[in-house]
Amino acid sequence: MNFNELSNSAGDVCCPYCGSREIIRKGFRKRKEDIGRIGFCKNCSKYFTYPQKRIRRNVASEEILLQYIKGKPLCEFGYPKSTLHRQILRRINSFPSWEEATGEWLDQLRDQEWFKNLVVDTTVVKVSGEKRIYLHAADNYFKRPLIYKVIERENKEYIARELRKLKSLGYCPAIVTVDLAPELLSAIKEVYKWAKIQGCLFHLARFLNKNLKKTEGTSEDVALAREKAKNLILHSVCADFLTRRSMIQKLASMLQPSVDEKTKRVIRIFRNRFKFYHTLEELNGHAEALTTNLCERHIGLVKEFKRRLRGFKSFNTAQKLLNSYWFFYLKEKRDTVKKDLNVRRFEGAAAFLLDGHISVSLLSHLLGLPEQYLVETAKKKGKIMILGYPISRRQIRRILQLAPKVNTVGELSEIMALNPRVVCKILTIYGFNVKVQNPQMTIDEIFNHQSNACSRIDNARIIKP
């Protein structure tokens, strides 16, 4: 504030001590948030400052707040840190909560229909050194956060309370994708009784990698059984109805005394949860509903935001800072160009669908995408197209490692959970000889002319080069 803006006349000022109007101006006094004149009273010989009204400087503008949220330290703004921090905490009170922001957004789309797929996930955050739960829910079609709330405990009551608020705003999803945590399942079944629950394939793969890995001292037979169970499970959750039924039968056949208890326990857990993993036909081709990757990305942003702020100091401040963070996030994303709907469907689950278990032609039919686009995407991810299946170099190396240890192509294809024709083709490309039961027919003739090629190749013997 300019000093000239203050009153130059002391005639209307009275001494606060004796009430005299005989005042002499003696200069200015500056503080952190006010500027005033110093007056001297001739009657009582005392000094005082006028005007008494404090003049606040609103230094925490929206631009400064945005830079602070993006990680710029308070000491780099050129203002006193205590003043700036106090004004930032006061300013974040004005940002809308998730209920207000989501309700306003849903009101704008009241007459629009879209495929509502809700993804929900939780994570642990520390607030004032204590563990709290961050609940996040997002719409998979618009890639927009709906719920961003810090709750005290990860139990059914707290989660269901927030989901009921979302339901009261008019958001009713057809599919809810979760990581199958018990408290999330209970809350979703209570609030969205009609919704189809889909288990996240990313969390399933992480569970299998953790519990079916080869540890020190594990025998070769146990390691092969665990690898076979893992590949069968991952194949079954992505396959069509008929293929997954045969995969489940093969998993059931592994529940025998010769298989180790840990592998059997994992198979039993998966069989109990199998009803939550739907085929692409049941999901109407919406491959984005297979994973909670959107929530994982959003939660990663929240963790990075918390790290930049060096933690949350209090429960209420944490929620207000999250409100301001997602307000600016949505403001920046509002004008971005949307990708094609079918491409968005495919991108989230590309890592699972392009893993050699499903042919590109079948994927093209289920997703409504051009086959050439899927082939190009697979090649960008380092896949090799073999008989219409995208195969990774890791799978090829593993097939070549296991080939000397098994007798038939069928055994090898079961361990890798791949089409026998693909396995046989890889073996022949890399110098292995495959001997079929009918010596009058070659492998190429079976591929090209026989309708039951897979059944014939299953029993084909592998001969080392």
Specify the pLDDT at position 200.
93
| pLDDT of residue 89 exceeding 70 | yes
Specify the pLDDT at position 424.
87
How many whole angstroms separate alpha carbon 210 and alpha carbon 207?
5
Residue in this structure with the two tokens 């139990």, named with its chain if needed: 155
Exposure on the CB side of residue 250, measured as CA atoms within 13 A: 22
| pLDDT above 70: percentage of residues in the chain | 86
Residue-range domains of the chain with CATH: 3-50 (no CATH), 62-94 (no CATH), 392-463 (1.10.10)
DSSP 243-287: HHHHHHHHHHHT-STTS-HHHHHHHHHHHHHGGG---TTTTTT-G
pLDDT, average across residues 41-58: 72
> Which residues sit opposite 135 in a β-bridge?
122, 149
Flag the least confident range among 58-62, 223-227, 419-423. Answer: 58-62
pTM (2 d.p.)? 0.78
Query: Looking at the chain, how many residues does it have?
Result: 465
Flag the least confident range among 8-12, 78-82, 330-334, 365-369. Answer: 8-12
- Sorted by sequence, the CB contacts under 8 Å of residue 291 that are 6+ apart come out as 177, 200, 201, 202, 348, 349, 352
Residue in this structure with the two tokens 């429960």, named with its chain if needed: 315
Contact between 120 and 139 under an 8 Å Cβ cutoff? The reply is no
- Residue 300's CB is within 10 A of a number of other CB atoms, namely 11
Residue in this structure with the two tokens 């500027």, named with its chain if needed: 35
Pairing relation of β-strands 175-178 and 196-199? parallel
